[in-house]
Amino acid sequence: MHTKENCPFYGSTTIGEKGQVVIPQQVRETMKLEKGDKLLVFGMGEEMVALAKVSRFEKFEKHLSSKLESIRKIIKENGD
């Protein structure tokens, strides 16, 4: 694994016949991914894909929801 500014590079993988991709073992260990975990898949432009654990997004969403009133106040104060 190569690391630069907290963005590790884990190597490469290949798309199989059914469009499946194997996530390298080191990634699974680092992200604590287990069989059956759900991932969100984001397209980033036409040639990039990002994966994120659903459970982490749920935690982020709850955090964001708890800050929503403060966020709205900041937006209103900035005229956006």
Q: Which pLDDT belongs to residue 8?
A: 82
Quote the pLDDT of residue 39. Answer: 92
| pLDDT surpasses 80 at 30 | yes
Number of DSSP helices (H) and strands (E) in the chain, helices first: 3, 2
Higher pLDDT, residue 18 or 3: 18
pLDDT at residue 1 tops 60: no
Question: Both tokens of residue 20?
Answer: 């499946």
Residue 38 banded pLDDT, cuts 50, 70, 90: very high
